[in-house]
Homo-oligomer: A and B are copies of this chain.
Amino acid sequence: MLNARLSAGGIVARMSLDAPSLIATRMRMMRPSLVRELLKRATSPNIISFAGGLPNPKFFPNMSLIDASTDVLANDGGSVLQYAVSEGHPGLREWIAERYRVRFGLDVPVSNMLITTGSQQGIDLIGKVFIDPGDMIAIERPGYQGMLHALSVYQPQWAGVTLNEDGLDLAHLDRVLTESKAKLLMVCPNYQNPSGITYTEANRAAVAEIVKRHNVMLVEDDPYSELGFGGKSPTSFRKFLPEQCIALGSFSKLVAPGMRIGWLIAPNSVYERFVIAKQGTDFHTSNFAQRVLHSYLKATDINEHVALIQNGYATQCAAMLKAIDRYFPAGTHITRPDGGMFIWMTLPDEVDSVKLLDEAIDAGVTFLPGPTFYTDGGGKNQLRLSYSQSDEDKIDEGIQRLAAVVMRHLDAAE
């Protein structure tokens, strides 16, 4: 057969590969992000970054994690380093369930919980389990850019729901769900990314009542709720919608993102689908990282650690608000968060925040431009500022730099 083909075909080309023709439709649609390309220029050590949502490394429990690593490897290495169940380490899942009980008074069965490689993987698994090409997803406007990126590969259509300072715009939500027949409603109710706002209790209750009338699954992305300033602890949509809500959580902000450990809680009606999807995706999240984290959590007074990081980010947030009030021109609107990592800034209409980022990098400061957080080209004059990564003096210096760039930008736009 091989010889037959060779003689029939005459001279055979040495390389018949046309690699782009092999790429799946879903990946052909993915474009490199302009903002990511811009930020690649921002490599100077003098740059002050308000761009990424990175925790301040001074809060990482390095030394306690040495103890935890030693504990699990010395006492149970044969199991810690072996393959493990796809659902995740049972002890870690019990710890998370207990935390829901203590913080929210919510009973979350361990059998509805799946450990994920950060909550980012939770988002990806939601796309895998729910989204056929062309399916509609309702999303906050503005919404988390990493979620937009992760779900885009599943080729959905987007329906934005207006976000107000107290939560979702209820009339708009009902209209969007009715008209779009969205399968999923993606929300980040606590210290929202990118706006920093938190849904009020009344807004949540009203959102839940609307959701109950539609054939839609609410997805609560909640990486920030432990970061409430002054000990605040906002609730979970599981309180209102235990059977119609998938809750995502993460240790990235509570302990450290480099562990890559998050979780997903799904109602019985869909949980098993997630376990099957997780098996195929990577068998399970690093068992070593899960076990080390669990040993750390068992040995730690987590409330003390939470108080430490809450106070730290409250101080950093206050420093940024003060610097903005001092250096920025009139006509600047900002949110004033109660927790989390982000301030959302709206500048005069003539500002082009992507162009502004280009100019800001030259001045030694970065942020994320507004359009990153919209699926429909909104946010031109908006930007997200993260105060999580820098100490107070850097924050003051960075905001001063940025204000100067904004004023030059506004002068040039006139």
Residues of A within 8 A of B (CB): 1-2, 5, 9, 12-27, 30, 32, 52, 54-55, 57-58, 60, 62-63, 65-66, 69-70, 73-74, 77-84, 116-118, 120-121, 124, 128-132, 135, 146, 149-150, 152-154, 170-172, 174-175, 178, 183-184, 206, 210, 212-217, 243-244, 252, 256-261, 267, 269-270, 272-273, 276-277, 279-289, 291-292
With A17-B269, A57-B82, A120-B282 given, name 10 new contacts (CB 8 A): A2-B206, A5-B178, A22-B183, A58-B78, A65-B81, A128-B153, A259-B286, A286-B286, A286-B289, A288-B292
Contact A130 B22, CB 8 Å, known A257-B82, A288-B289, A289-B288: yes
Question: What would be 29 A-B contacts, judged by CB atoms less than 8 Å apart?
Answer: A1-B175, A2-B171, A13-B213, A15-B244, A19-B217, A20-B269, A22-B183, A24-B128, A24-B135, A27-B276, A55-B82, A57-B81, A65-B81, A66-B73, A69-B73, A82-B257, A82-B258, A117-B286, A120-B282, A150-B280, A258-B286, A258-B287, A258-B288, A259-B288, A260-B283, A260-B284, A260-B286, A286-B286, A286-B288
Given contacts A63-B73, A244-B17, contact A130 B23 (CB under 8 A): yes
B280:A260 contact, CB within 8 angstroms: no
In the docked arrangement, what's the CA distance between A275 and B135, Å? 25
What are the residues of chain B within 8 A of A217 when measuring CB–CB?
17, 19, 22
Partner of A117, one of B80, B282, B291: B282
Q: Which residue of B lies closest to A82 (CB)?
A: B258
Q: Which residues of B contact A215 (CB under 8 A)?
A: 16-18, 21-22
| A80 contact set on B, CB distance < 8 A | 62, 258
Q: How far is the CB of A18 from chain B (nearest CB, A)?
A: 5
CA distance A140 to B97 in the complex (A): 44
Question: Would you call A83 and B132 a contact (CB within 8 A)?
Answer: no
Which A-B residue pairs are the 4 nearest by beta carbons? A62-B77, A57-B78, A19-B269, A69-B69
Residues in B neighbouring A132, C-beta threshold 8 A: 24-26
Nearest to A6 among chain B residues (CB) is B213
Chain B residue numbers with a CB within 8 Å of A23 are 129-130, 270, 273
Residues of B within 8 A of A82 (CB): 54-55, 57, 60, 256-258
A174 partner residues in chain B, CB cutoff 8 A: 1-2, 5
* Cα separation A21 to B58 with both chains bound (whole Å): 47
**A258 lies within 8 A of B84 (CB):** yes
Residue numbers in B under 8 Å from A244 (CB-CB): 15, 17
- Bound state CA distance, A78 and B174, in angstroms? 45
B residues near A289, Cβ cutoff 8 Å = 286, 288-289
Residues of B close to A120: CB separation below 8 A: 280-283
Cα(A62)–Cα(B72), bound, Å: 9
Least CB distance from A258 to B in Å reads 4
Q: Is the CB of B153 within 8 A of A257?
A: no
Q: Is the CB of B73 within 8 A of A70?
A: no
- A83 to B287: give the CA distance in the assembly, Å: 19
Contacts of A269 in B (CB 8 A): 17, 19-20
- The smallest beta-carbon distance between A144 and chain B, in angstroms, is 12
Query: A389 to chain B: closest CB distance in Å?
Result: 10
For the complex, what is the distance from the CA of A110 to the CA of B151, rounded to whole Å? 28
CB proximity of A184 to chain B, nearest CB, Å: 8
Q: Assess whether B124 is in contact with A2, with CB atoms less than 8 Å apart.
A: no
